Structure 1
């Protein structure tokens, strides 16, 4: 694969849904809870999706705040989505952002706007095409 793309490799053997994920020299597990037959040794795929959106949002906000020298001490993002077996094309992700710092109302408003500029938010807000080979 081209180095200009973000890539990931997933591998699943007979380990009861515990999936190895490799990307950019990093390694994590995805899994399902024991109640669904998994080993609960990693986040569910849905939780990983929320983690991608949350971390991308936080990083985008931090980059902007640093560049504009905004006194943002920290940002906390809580996300939720329905269970994976209930996902439809109308599925909604709820995202609550808490900004901590000595911020003006104008800065808070701008940081909320910047949150929607994160690449994962843009990706999830548009039609996605998946090509399988």
Structure 2
């Protein structure tokens, strides 16, 4: 489905992530000992969900012939009193959408592929790879 590679790049927590021909940096903010040179892990988590949200709704609107216009999703995360991660999305579009169209978009967004996977969780396994030699 997807494959990424992450490599330590420099000081503290700065890492380079590669997915095919695409690169992004991950880091922690200075307040947590990083350089703030890239998105923090939970920001990347929200970025994945926001990308899936925007792309899915754009595809759906195009299929229906709806003028979505410029679309923006604002995502935030917090923890409940029980410590469970909570994500909240606020969706905006400049297109002339009716209340009924917005209602349908809010139904569709609950079923985006990344939304469903994040809700169900994932089986995560780990193993030791071969030793890397320093250059």
The bucket for the TM-score relative to the shorter chain is: 0.7 to 0.9
Report the CA distance between 1:65 and its aligned residue.
0.4
* Counterpart selection for 1:48 from 41, 44, 53: 44
Give 4+ residue runs of structure 1 displaced > 3 Å after superposition. none
Superposition CA RMSD, Å: 1.8
Report the CA distance between 1:87 and its aligned residue.
9.3
Counterpart for residue 107 of structure 1: 101
Separation in 2, partners of 1:6, 1:107: 32
Structure 2: 5+ residue stretches without partners = 128-135
- Secondary structure of the residue aligned to 2:69 is strand
Report the CA distance between 1:74 and its aligned residue.
2.0
Q: How many pairs align?
A: 126
**Contact persistence 1:9–1:23 (CA under 8 A):** yes
Separation in 2, partners of 1:128, 1:87: 21
Give the TM-score normalised by the residue count of structure 1.
Answer: 0.87
- 50-59 vs 7-16, which moves further: 7-16
Report the CA distance between 1:14 and its aligned residue.
5.0
Of structures 1 and 2, the one with the larger relative CO (CA 8 A, separation 6+) is 1
Please say which structure displays the higher CA radius of gyration: 2
**Contact persistence 2:27–2:34 (CA under 8 A):** yes
Counterpart for residue 38 of structure 1: 34
Separation in 2, partners of 1:87, 1:55: 28
Distance 1:14 1:71, change over 3 A: closer
Separation in 1, partners of 2:111, 2:71: 16
Counterpart for residue 21 of structure 1: 17
Give the TM-score normalised by the residue count of structure 2.
Answer: 0.86
- Secondary structure of the residue aligned to 1:110 is helix
Structure 1: 5+ residue stretches without partners = none
Q: How does 1:61-72 map to 2 (within 5 A)?
A: 61-72=57-68
